Structure 1
């Protein structure tokens, strides 16, 4: 074929009407087409190398086929695989992602949302929401990723924070630790708050109530904030033998703070993280943590957004994906006198 393939070419190859092919290739109308027929159309489009004319479709449907993706910190290694999952799923549906970074600044987030809405963005995937937020960008379809808000009402995709914390606390208790502290993430973020609440619950369920107040909240999910909070935690609780950190970056801050205090990991203090971000298995010592399905979280968030764009009145869904304990050398048995 010497010319670029058209929707009619796709329709002929798939054996359907051109209108059906068009609906099957448009995420906003795909639900109107039988799944088997839609699959046949997509296969025909791939075989022909057909690329939808997004500008023309925007004029017809008043959509842009662009989704805004806003994250709090590009330097945090947990986000690139999530964003990759989002991008891959959006691209398969004929959408592109417009990425923005807030550096944790709420004003910057508002600016990004406003700027993206000005470009007729069809919806948002936000990893920046705080627990007390209302729906940013409403009534534009919005999905929260790795975060939730207390009021609910917004689709979200998260890892199972509570299950992950319980895995970590049981792991430490199984090694003989009875004095387990927690350097929590910020209270304002659902990830920080849910993991903190799960820590209290796990400590209580194992009969380790004496440690339930050994908590310091880090100001941010960063190594520097983790370092500062760990110093405060041990100033108030010098007898701790294990620390459960709110995420992997905070755990790295625990490492440096404990080194500053002259405490070795794991001989004197065991340390755990959360997220299993890239390269924590190469730290010294390799970090015991909870693996979350980063890429799958991103793909599922994109899927929920596309579903929301196609059916704005559909019931709100909250998806919680399973996690896995990754036991490594940063945790070891408590010394007999410490247990």
Structure 2
């Protein structure tokens, strides 16, 4: 008997098949199936095309479309640390704006390493992303300057780069730190320490500067020994910073941490050294990451609008992609203080 042959799979339906089934021109079918252009088609026609595509099992070919249009409908999202709970709500905000516009994001984690960042961004560029949303910028960032000079559309999140006119979405760091210090001063704290973020980031520098202004304006102790710069915005760095303060002999009854992960490091050290919070030491964070209300005690922190940060960054990038010549704009978002159980009057 001759060997049996495996039947060939049926041919994949094409756009013209969908158009024929829906009774429209292929160009109309293409617009109806693309979220970015669907509004150009009558709603009933769009539904008819989508039903035909579903019935036929049609799947758009993004590679073929990108070859035809020189567009990939993708952007790169550059994150310093995907394990940081601060970023997922921002990513959700970004996706909430990209998806209705027919765009998708490639997400890369740089591990906060400059060489890895360059490699990951080059990988994104090899995939022909149309723009970048970057959350890793340092005050002096030659690679971003290089990308900017080459005309790559970019938006920065939470960061600025000195000397570069790149659109950015930033938080009102000064207002947030002022709220934190004012809250502690109102409870009666006069010697407040700070775990500062890295000085080579705009966020670290801005929040440290705001802290010094706040304690000076309130007439509190402006003691350099009460400020410790951490190497990065992480929990281990926060723990090391608090140990430095405690072992250095500085007197203080409260700590303002430049972000919530640094504050979590304070919790680790307080647990290992038997320090009661807030009876012996009050702690305030910054960012209001998810689940901070589940800590013992729940962390007082500066709330930031995570979803809005991402959504605004995505809108700004889509605007830049659509009109590269438009003047760059930046957005400063307001913050608020969420008072929980980690702060109280000193020596309560």
Q: TM-score band, normalised by the shorter chain? A: 0.7 to 0.9
Q: What are the Cα deviations for residues 243-292 of structure 1, in whole angstroms up to 9, with x where unaligned?
A: 00010010011122233343211101100000000111111110000111
Bigger Rg over Cα: 2
- 1:279-290 equivalences under 5 Å are 279-290=291-302
Instruction: Provide the rounded CA distance (Å) in 1 between the counterparts of 2:40 and 2:300.
Output: 42
- The answer to whether residue 281 in structure 2 is matched with residue 269 in structure 1 is yes
- The answer to whether residue 188 in structure 2 is matched with residue 176 in structure 1 is yes
Residue in 2 aligned with 1:252? 264
Give 1:295 shift: 1.1
Instruction: Provide the rounded CA distance (Å) in 2 between the counterparts of 1:191 and 1:41.
Output: 47
Give 1:219 shift: 0.8
Q: Is the 8 A contact 1:127 1:145 kept in 2?
A: yes
Instruction: Provide the rounded CA distance (Å) in 2 between the counterparts of 1:173 and 1:58.
Output: 58
Q: Is the 8 A contact 2:287 2:301 kept in 1?
A: yes
Instruction: Provide the rounded CA distance (Å) in 2 between the counterparts of 1:41 and 1:198.
Output: 53
> Which of 218, 228, 236 is the matching residue for 1:224?
236
Give the SS at the match of 1:268: coil
Mark the CA change 1:112 to 1:209 in structure 2 (over 3 Å): closer, same or farther: same
Instruction: Provide the rounded CA distance (Å) in 2 between the counterparts of 1:255 and 1:46.
Output: 55
TM-score (norm 2): 0.83
> Which of 297, 305, 312 is the matching residue for 2:309?
297
Residue in 2 aligned with 1:110? 118
Q: Is the 8 A contact 1:154 1:316 kept in 2?
A: yes
Moved more, 205-214 or 290-299: 205-214
Give the SS at the match of 2:152: coil
Q: Is the 8 A contact 2:33 2:46 kept in 1?
A: no
Mark the CA change 1:221 to 1:291 in structure 2 (over 3 Å): closer, same or farther: same
Residue in 2 aligned with 1:33? none
Mark the CA change 1:256 to 1:182 in structure 2 (over 3 Å): closer, same or farther: same
> Which of 76, 86, 96 is the matching residue for 1:88?
96
Q: Is the 8 A contact 1:203 1:211 kept in 2?
A: no
Q: Is the 8 A contact 1:180 1:211 kept in 2?
A: no
- 1:31-70 equivalences under 5 Å are 38=39, 45=46, 49=50, 54-70=62-78
Give 1:118 shift: 0.9
Give 1:45 shift: 4.4
- The answer to whether residue 108 in structure 2 is matched with residue 100 in structure 1 is yes
Moved more, 145-154 or 224-233: 145-154
- The answer to whether residue 221 in structure 2 is matched with residue 206 in structure 1 is no
Instruction: Provide the rounded CA distance (Å) in 1 between the counterparts of 2:62 and 2:196.
Output: 45
Q: What are the Cα deviations for residues 205-261 of structure 1, in whole angstroms up to 9, with x where unaligned?
A: 111143455100111111111000111122335320110001001001112223334
Give 1:53 shift: 5.5
Residue in 2 aligned with 1:321? 333
5+ unaligned residues in a row in structure 2: which ranges? Answer: 1-12, 54-58
5+ unaligned residues in a row in structure 1: which ranges? Answer: 31-36
Mark the CA change 1:230 to 1:41 in structure 2 (over 3 Å): closer, same or farther: farther
Residue in 1 aligned with 2:208? 196
Q: Is the 8 A contact 1:183 1:233 kept in 2?
A: no
CA RMSD of aligned residues (A): 3.0
- The answer to whether residue 52 in structure 2 is matched with residue 77 in structure 1 is no
- The answer to whether residue 142 in structure 2 is matched with residue 130 in structure 1 is no
Q: Is the 8 A contact 1:223 1:249 kept in 2?
A: yes
